[in-house]
Amino acid sequence: MKIIKYPKPDDWAALTKRPLLENKTLEPLVKQILEEVKTNKDFALFRFTEQFDQVRTTQLLVSNPELVAASKQIPAELKSAIKLAKRNIKKFHQAQKEKIKPIETSKGIVCWRKSIAIEKVGLYIPGGTAPLFSTLLMLGIPAKLAGCKEIVLCTPPNKNGNINPAILYTAKLIGINKVFKVGGAQAIAAMAYGTESIPQVYKIFGPGNQFVTKAKELVQQNGIAIDMPAGPSEVLIIADKSSYAPFLAADLLSQAEHGSDSQTILLSNSKAIIDRTMRELEDQLELIPRKEIARKALNNCLFILFENLEECIAFSNEYAPEHLILAVKDALNFADKITNAGSVFLGNYSCESAGDYASGTNHTLPTNGYAKSYSGVSLDSFVKKISFQQLSKEGLKNIGSAIELMAAAEGLEAHKNAVSIRLKFLENV
Amino acid sequence: MKIIKYPKPDDWAALTKRPLLENKTLEPLVKQILEEVKTNKDFALFRFTEQFDQVRTTQLLVSNPELVAASKQIPAELKSAIKLAKRNIKKFHQAQKEKIKPIETSKGIVCWRKSIAIEKVGLYIPGGTAPLFSTLLMLGIPAKLAGCKEIVLCTPPNKNGNINPAILYTAKLIGINKVFKVGGAQAIAAMAYGTESIPQVYKIFGPGNQFVTKAKELVQQNGIAIDMPAGPSEVLIIADKSSYAPFLAADLLSQAEHGSDSQTILLSNSKAIIDRTMRELEDQLELIPRKEIARKALNNCLFILFENLEECIAFSNEYAPEHLILAVKDALNFADKITNAGSVFLGNYSCESAGDYASGTNHTLPTNGYAKSYSGVSLDSFVKKISFQQLSKEGLKNIGSAIELMAAAEGLEAHKNAVSIRLKFLENV
C-alpha cells in the first residue's frame, strides 16, 4: 500500500495502466481444447470433465429432480433475498425496453428499428470457491426479459459431480431449464460449436478464469458474439473529508477479496482521509475469511492524493474503472463529470455490494479500461436491432435522383440503376 | 445461377452456409504490419504507404487547403445529393438518442443509465475503385451526433498521393478535420496504437479488404473495440407473383457489383417470377460497367423455390441476411415475422440502394450470418452506457439484509461487511 502525492498528468498514463496478464502458453492449450470439443463433442466434454474437474460422468444435463431438490436445500431467508434481488434487477432491466419509433425521414420514407431477442444465448457461471448465483441473476433475467428462446447455462460440477444448489435454485427461479455440468474452455467450446447434449448458441456471456476468457476470445473469431472482453475486477473510490473511513476500507476490501489480482484505488483531496482509511484497512482485513487473497490484492492498492476533486475525477476518467464510488459530499453534482466508468455509486450509502447483488443494476461490467468504449451488460446485450424501411412511390421520387448521383459518383452503376429502373417505371404508370 | 426447388429443412443448413474465406498466410503478415507500426510508428506508415500504395510521403495529415480545394472539385448537384442524404441520416440517428430514465427499484434506491460518447473513435474508408463517401456519412454522422470528441479518419491515397475529393468534401461537411492518407492494416494499427501523427482511438469502424478486416480482428484482442466482424456483402430477396422481375434483377445486380464474393439469393413461391428474373438478369448484366465482377458473383446466386412465403421467411431467418428485401404484396404484414436480418426493405419501391445512400438508415450492417447476434451501426455504436445508483439510508436499509445474505452465501464476507458496517452505523445515529 503506497501513497502517491500530487502526480503530474504526465505520470497518469503509468498509474492508470493495468498489469499485463500475458500468458503465451494459454492460447495453444485452449485452442486444442476447442478443437477437441469441435471434433469429439460430448465425448471430449466427458474426458475434460474427468481431467479438470475429477468427475466421471456421461450425463451433462442437470435433471429436473436435481433442480427441484436444490430448492429444498436453500434456507427460506436466502430464497427471499434472491427474490428481492430478482425483482429489482427485473424492474431496472424492464425499463430498458425500447418502443418502436417510426421516423419519416423524407416525405414517403418511413424508417424504424426493432429490437429482437438473440434466439440462442449461452451463460457461463464459474465454479470454485464462490458460487456466483448473483451473476446468474444478472445474465438470466435480461435474457428472459429480452425473450431469448434458448438459454443454455454451463457451470462446472464440484468433485461429487454436483452443482451448488443456490445456482440451481436461481436457474429454476428465472426459468432456465437447460443447465449443464461442464466448465472451463470446454464449456465455451460446447456452446460455440454445439455437441450432442449442448445446443449451439449465437452469443456467450459470463465471467471465468483465464481459460474461459481465452476461449471466449477465440470463439469470437469464429463469429460467436461475446458479452465483452474480461480482466480482473476493479474499484476506484473518490473520497473527500466528508467520507467515513470505515466505509471506504470496507468497500476496498470487498473488491480486494475477489482475487489477488483485484485492482483497488482510492483518490482523495484529503491526506487525513487516506491515512485513516489505511489504518482501517489493517483492522478490517483481520476480520474477513478471505484475508490472504485480499492482502495480496491490497499490496497493489493505490492511494493517490490530489489537490482537488476535479483532478480526482479527471484521473478516474482516464483510468475508466469498472466500479466507481463517489463517496463525496453532494455526489450527484459530480455525476455529470464522469465520462468513463462501468457503474457509478453515489454517496456514502451506495456501496458496491448494493449493485453487485440487489439494487437492480447489472454487475457484469467492463474492466481493464474497456469502460472507455464498452457498456456493461443490459437488456441491449440480449437483443439485436434490425432496421426497417418502407418507401412509397413518392418517397422514392423524393430521394431517387440523390441516390443516382451518389451511386454514380461511387462508380456503382448497378446501384444507380436499381433506382433508375423504378423511376422510369413510375413515369410510365 | 441455379434453381433449387423445395429444399427440405434438413438441407437448409448447407444452403445458408457462407463460403469459408480462410487465409492462413494472412494472419502472420498482418501481425507483422501491426508490430512494425507499434514499434516504428509514423516511420512504418511511410514505409508501408510506399510499399502498398506506391506513394512516397512524410505528410499523412490532409491539409486544410486540400480539404477546402476538394469542395471546388465536386459538382453542385452531387453536393446537394450528399446534403440530402446527410439530412436524412442525421434525422434517423438523432431519433436514437435516449433520455435518462431514473428508476426507483426499491424505496430509496434510484438507478439510471446514461449514454456518453466514446471519446476517441477511428473511421476507416477504403480506397480502390469505389470512393465510399457514403460510408463516411454512415459513420461520421452518428459519431458527431453522439459527441465523440476526437474523430480520426484514415483512407489510402491514390497513386498521386491524393484522396478522392468526394471523401474530403464529405469529411469537411460532417466536420471531421483529422483525415490521414494511410490505408490497409497499417492504418488500423496506427489508430489502435497511435503514432506521432495519428491519435490512438478506443474504437475503430469501417469496411475494408481482408488485411483491414484481419487487422481489426487482431487489435480487438488488444482491447480496441471494433464495429463488428466483417464478411462479403449480401442481399436476400423474397418475391411473390406481385413482384416486378426487372426490379428484382436490378436489386440482385446492385449487390453483385460490389465484388465477386457478394452473396445474392432470391426466394419465391412463384416459379414464373424466378424464371423472369433470371432472364432479366442476363439482359441487365450487359448494361453495367462492373459486369465482370457481377457475373462472377451471380454464378453463386441461389434461386430457391418454396411452397409458400412462410417458408421463404423461415429460410431467410435461418440465413440472417445483411439486406433483406421483402418484395411481396403487403410486405409490412410480413415484417413482424423477421427475426434475423441486418436491414429490411419493404415493398417494390424500397430498393437496397435507398438504404445504402439516402433514406436515413445506416448501411454498415452485419454480414455472414452475424445478424443473428449483432446489430448494424447506430448511434449506440458511438456511445457506452454508464449505470448510476444512489441509495439513501432508507434504501440501504430496505435491501441491506438481502445483500448480506446473498454475499454470505457466495462466501464473500467482505461484500457482506460493506453493508453490515453501514447498517450498524445507521443504528447508532
Reported as a single tens digit per residue, the pLDDT across A135-178 is 999 999 999 999 999 999 999 999 999 999 999 999 999 999 99
**What is the pLDDT at residue A118?**
98
- Smallest Cβ–Cβ distance between A395 and the set B349, B361, B403 belongs to B349
Tens digit of pLDDT for each residue in A357-416? 999 999 999 999 999 999 999 999 999 999 999 999 999 999 999 999 999 999 999 999
Q: Which member of A323, A352, A363, A404 is catalytic?
A: A323
* φ, ψ at A80 (rounded to 5°): -60, -40
Question: B interface mutation test: which of A313, A386, A425 has the most B CBs within 10 A?
Answer: A386
Count contacts between A and B (CB, < 8 Å).
Answer: 417
Contact between A353 and B419 using a beta-carbon 8 Å cutoff: yes
Domains and CATH numbers, chain A: 2-18+231-360 (3.40.50.1980), 26-108+116-226 (3.40.50.1980), 392-427 (1.20.5.1300)
Q: Per-residue pLDDT averaged across A64-86, rounded?
A: 96
DSSP, collapsed to helix, strand or coil, labels residue A415 as helix
Q: Per-residue pLDDT averaged across B7-35, rounded?
A: 91
Q: Per-residue pLDDT averaged across B172-186, rounded?
A: 97
- Rounded CA-CA distance B250/B352 in Å is 10
pTM confidence score:
0.96
Chain A neighbors of B287, CB-CB under 8 A: 417
Question: B interface mutation test: which of A111, A158, A396 has the most B CBs within 10 A?
Answer: A111
Chain B neighbors of A203, CB-CB under 8 A: 373
Q: Per-residue pLDDT averaged across B376-381, rounded?
A: 98
Q: Per-residue pLDDT averaged across B115-143, rounded?
A: 94
Contact between A229 and B217 using a beta-carbon 8 Å cutoff: no
Share of chain A above pLDDT 90, in %: 94
Q: What is the mean pLDDT of chain B?
A: 96
Contact between A247 and B417 using a beta-carbon 8 Å cutoff: no
Indicate whether A330 pLDDT > 80.
yes
Indicate whether B23 pLDDT > 80.
no
**What is the pLDDT at residue A12?**
95
Contact between B413 and A347 using a beta-carbon 8 Å cutoff: no
**What is the pLDDT at residue A207?**
95
Tens digit of pLDDT for each residue in A200-212? 999 999 999 999 9
- Smallest Cβ–Cβ distance between B418 and the set A91, A250, A384 belongs to A250
Tens digit of pLDDT for each residue in A247-289? 999 999 999 999 999 999 999 999 999 999 999 999 999 999 9
**What is the pLDDT at residue A325?**
98
Angstrom distances, CA of residue B51 to CA of A5, A53, B33, B45, B58: 49, 52, 12, 10, 14
**What is the pLDDT at residue A24?**
81
* Banded model confidence at residue A225, pLDDT cuts 50, 70, 90: very high
- Rounded CA-CA distance A180/A156 in Å is 8
- Report yes or no: B366 and B376 within 8 Å, Cβ to Cβ: yes
Chain B neighbors of A335, CB-CB under 8 A: 388
Angle, nearest 10°, between helix axes A26-53 and A184-193? 100
Indicate whether A129 pLDDT > 80.
no
Indicate whether A40 pLDDT > 80.
yes
Indicate whether A11 pLDDT > 90.
yes
- Smallest Cβ–Cβ distance between A347 and the set B134, B374, B390 belongs to B390
Indicate whether B281 pLDDT > 90.
yes
Contact between A225 and B355 using a beta-carbon 8 Å cutoff: no
* Banded model confidence at residue B124, pLDDT cuts 50, 70, 90: very high
| Residue A89: closest C-alpha in chain B | B105
**What is the pLDDT at residue B380?**
97
Q: Per-residue pLDDT averaged across B50-74, rounded?
A: 94
- Return all residues near B82 (Cβ < 8 A) that are at least 6 apart: A406, B133, B137, B166, B169, B170, B173
Indicate whether B148 pLDDT > 80.
yes
Q: Which member of A322, A352, A363, A404 is catalytic?
A: A322
- Report yes or no: A135 and A411 within 8 Å, Cβ to Cβ: no
Chain B neighbors of A359, CB-CB under 8 A: 105-106, 109, 111, 389, 391, 395, 399
Chain B neighbors of A403, CB-CB under 8 A: 81, 353-354, 356-358
Indicate whether B52 pLDDT > 90.
yes
* Banded model confidence at residue B176, pLDDT cuts 50, 70, 90: very high
Contact between A417 and B284 using a beta-carbon 8 Å cutoff: yes
**What is the pLDDT at residue B127?**
87
Contact between A373 and B402 using a beta-carbon 8 Å cutoff: no
Question: B interface mutation test: which of A390, A401, A427 has the most B CBs within 10 A?
Answer: A390
Contact between A130 and B419 using a beta-carbon 8 Å cutoff: no
Indicate whether A134 pLDDT > 80.
yes
Indicate whether A48 pLDDT > 90.
yes
Indicate whether A20 pLDDT > 80.
no
Burial (CB count <10 Å: 0-12, 13-18, 19+), residue B286 = exposed
- Report yes or no: A250 and A349 within 8 Å, Cβ to Cβ: no
- Rounded CA-CA distance B325/A413 in Å is 19
* Banded model confidence at residue A46, pLDDT cuts 50, 70, 90: very high
Tens digit of pLDDT for each residue in B196-205? 999 999 999 9
**What is the pLDDT at residue B363?**
98
- Rounded CA-CA distance A149/B133 in Å is 40
* Banded model confidence at residue B2, pLDDT cuts 50, 70, 90: confident
**What is the pLDDT at residue B355?**
98
Contact between B388 and A353 using a beta-carbon 8 Å cutoff: no
Instruction: Report the DSSP pairing between strands B109-117 and B103-106.
Output: antiparallel
Indicate whether A130 pLDDT > 80.
no
Integer-rounded Cα Rg, in Å, for chain A is 26
* Banded model confidence at residue A83, pLDDT cuts 50, 70, 90: very high
Q: How far is A347 from chain B (nearest CA, A)?
A: 7
Concatenated DSSP letters of A382-408: GEEEEEEEEE-HHHHHHHHHHHHHHHH
Q: How far is A83 from chain B (nearest CA, A)?
A: 9
DSSP, collapsed to helix, strand or coil, labels residue A109 as strand
Catalytic positions of B, please?
A: 322-323
- Report yes or no: B312 and B305 within 8 Å, Cβ to Cβ: no
Which of A119, A331, A371 shows the shortest CA–CA distance to A233? Answer: A371
| Residue A342: closest C-alpha in chain B | B386
Q: How far is B331 from chain A (nearest CA, A)?
A: 9
- Return all residues near B109 (Cβ < 8 A) that are at least 6 apart: A88, A354, A359, A360, B389, B390, B391, B392, B395, B398, B399
- Return all residues near A68 (Cβ < 8 A) that are at least 6 apart: A172
Q: Is the dihedral of CA A288, A293, A297, A299 positive or negative?
A: positive
Burial (CB count <10 Å: 0-12, 13-18, 19+), residue A109 = buried
Q: Per-residue pLDDT averaged across B246-251, rounded?
A: 98
Based on the residue annotation, tell me whether A258 is a catalytic residue of this protein: no
Share of chain B above pLDDT 70, in %: 99
Chain A neighbors of B342, CB-CB under 8 A: 386-387
- Report yes or no: A32 and A44 within 8 Å, Cβ to Cβ: no
**What is the pLDDT at residue A429?**
76
Which grid coordinates belong to B309? 412465403
Residue corresponding to grid cell 427471499: A80
H, E, C per residue of chain B: CEEEECCCHHHHHHHHCCCCCCCCCHHHHHHHHHHHHHHHHHHHHHHHHHHHHCCCCCCCECCHHHHHHHHHHCCHHHHHHHHHHHHHHHHHHHCCCCCCCCEEEECCEEEEEEEEECCEEEEECCCCCCCCHHHHHHHHHHHHHHCCCEEEEEECCCCCCCCCHHHHHHHHHHCCCEEEECCHHHHHHHHHHCCCCCCCCCEEECCCCHHHHHHHHHHHCCCCEECCCCCCCEEEEEECCCCCHHHHHHHHHHHHCCCCCCEEEEEECCHHHHHHHHHHHHHHHCCCCCHHHHHHHHHCCEEEECCCHHHHHHHHHHHCCCEEEEECCCHHHHHCCCCCCCEEEECCCCCHHHHHHCCCCCCCCCCCCHHHCCCCCCHHHHEEEEEEEEECHHHHHHHHHHHHHHHHHCCCHHHHHHHHHHHHHHHCC
